[in-house]
């Protein structure tokens, strides 16, 4: 990969207040890029600037511009993207509870993705790097006896897939269809598993993501037992680094990349608890399914029961020459940051 003059390169990161988006903005500023980010309301601009500005270089804030733009509306996107060389499309809300009507998630996910791609095409962006998810790869299958890779797609009509999984799958499918019809726009997709690692800040109004809520509850002793489910782990710092590298790497064009630590190892909540020095017992599957009728939290995880998945990060490691942090390092960094910020 040829060297890049960061000082003359402008990058838009959608959703700069989110867990992944804030780390992307933070790393880009550290590396000297001119950065833009979008948030729903400019009332939170000062809060976001404090969150993402590198402590070692406060002057980096002068290279950050914040725009108001919402994925549910066309307003603001062309203005935010105009003059950008690259777009990291990271913004994507994760539901606290699953809606009764899957279309409440599907339509906004698809439409929001297409808004960003259309504006990027209109403004001649060199490449868009989009954050999708492993839920667009590893769900709705009849069995999990094989190792999943980037050639796999979740089946939106399968039994063990949530409305969120359907929305992410259809949004990514729509993105690839758009790019196929508009070959002038280069496109790369990152498909991360559960995202852990340090939280940058504890500013008011920021809620912890699903993965970090698991860590919070374990550390606080509020999770004495959990369902029998496994998931992959990726460090948010690694994920941000891969997004930035994917902007420039020629070999990343037109490809999906699974982002998962430890060569694709999946771990349980019980194993994470043990790594953090806490004993988390296992809830029987029958009890989880029974309680799911009255608990929206448990209803979301019934899709995971009995699906012991296996995946590989070989393409990502070899394409980027990348070594992932181990999952234990990531979950411990999560817990440490929550303690340092006084959140637990």
What pLDDT shows up at residue 211?
87
Look up the pTM and report it: 0.93
The partner residues of 235 in beta bridges, in order of sequence, read 196
Rounded Cα gap, residues 73 and 115, in angstroms: 8
Residue owning tokens 């980027």 = 320
Neighbours of 307 (CB within 10 A): 18
Low-confidence ranges of the chain (pLDDT < 50): 1, 204-205
- In order of their start, the domains of the chain are 8-339 (3.40.50.720)
Are 116 and 87 within 8 A, CB to CB? yes
Active site residue 100: no
What pLDDT shows up at residue 1?
47
Q: Which residues contact 164 (CB under 8 A, 6 or more apart)?
A: 94, 95, 98, 105, 135, 300
Strands 266-268 and 230-235: antiparallel
What pLDDT shows up at residue 94?
54
Rounded Cα gap, residues 313 and 213, in angstroms: 25
From the candidates 43, 79, 168, 332, give the one annotated as an active-site residue.
Answer: 168
Rounded Cα gap, residues 167 and 153, in angstroms: 13
Helix ranges (H only) for the chain are 19-30, 45-52, 77-81, 103-122, 163-181, 210-219, 236-248, 269-275, 285-291, 296-301, 314-320, 327-340
Q: DSSP secondary-structure letter at 148? A: B
What pLDDT shows up at residue 205?
44
Rounded Cα gap, residues 265 and 313, in angstroms: 9
What pLDDT shows up at residue 148?
94
What pLDDT shows up at residue 288?
83
**DSSP code string of 279-321:** --EEE-HHHHHHHTTT-HHHHHHTTTTT----B--HHHHHHHT
């Amino acid at each position: 990969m040829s060297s890049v003059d960061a000082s003359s390169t402008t990058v838009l990161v959608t959703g700069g207040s989110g867990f992944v988006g804030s780390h992307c903005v933070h790393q880009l500023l550290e590396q000297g890029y001119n950065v833009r980010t979008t948030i729903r309301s400019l009332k939170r601009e000062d809060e976001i600037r404090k969150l993402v500005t590198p402590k070692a270089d406060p002057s980096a804030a002068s290279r950050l511009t914040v725009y108001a733009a919402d994925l549910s509306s066309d307003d603001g996107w062309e203005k935010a993207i105009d003059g950008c060389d690259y777009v990291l499309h990271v913004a994507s809300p994760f539901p606290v509870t699953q809606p009764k009507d899957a279309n409440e998630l599907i339509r906004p996910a698809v439409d929001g993705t297409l808004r960003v791609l259309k504006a990027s095409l209109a403004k001649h962006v060199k490449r868009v790097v989009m954050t999708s998810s492993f839920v667009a790869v590893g769900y709705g299958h009849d069995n999990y006896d094989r190792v999943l890779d980037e050639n796999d797609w979740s089946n939106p009509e399968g039994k063990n897939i949530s409305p969120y999984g359907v929305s992410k799958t259809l949004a990514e499918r729509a993105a690839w269809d758009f790019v196929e019809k508009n070959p002038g726009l280069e496109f790369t997709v990152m498909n991360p598993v559960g995202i852990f690692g340090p939280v940058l800040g504890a500013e008011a109004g920021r809620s912890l993501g699903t993965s970090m809520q698991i860590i919070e509850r374990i550390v606080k002793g509020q999770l004495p037992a959990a369902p029998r489910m496994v998931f992959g782990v990726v460090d948010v710092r690694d994920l941000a680094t891969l997004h930035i590298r994917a902007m420039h790497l020629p070999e990343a064009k037109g490809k999906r990349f699974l982002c998962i630590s430890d060569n694709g190892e999946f771990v349980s909540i019980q194993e994470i608890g043990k790594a953090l020095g806490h004993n988390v017992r296992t809830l029987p599957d029958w009890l989880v399914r029974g309680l799911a009728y009255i608990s929206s939290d448990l209803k979301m995880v019934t899709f995971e029961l009995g699906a012991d998945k296996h995946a590989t990060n070989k393409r990502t490691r070899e394409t980027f020459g990348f070594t992932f942090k181990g999952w234990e390092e990531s979950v411990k960094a999560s817990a440490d940051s929550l303690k340092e910020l006084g959140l637990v």
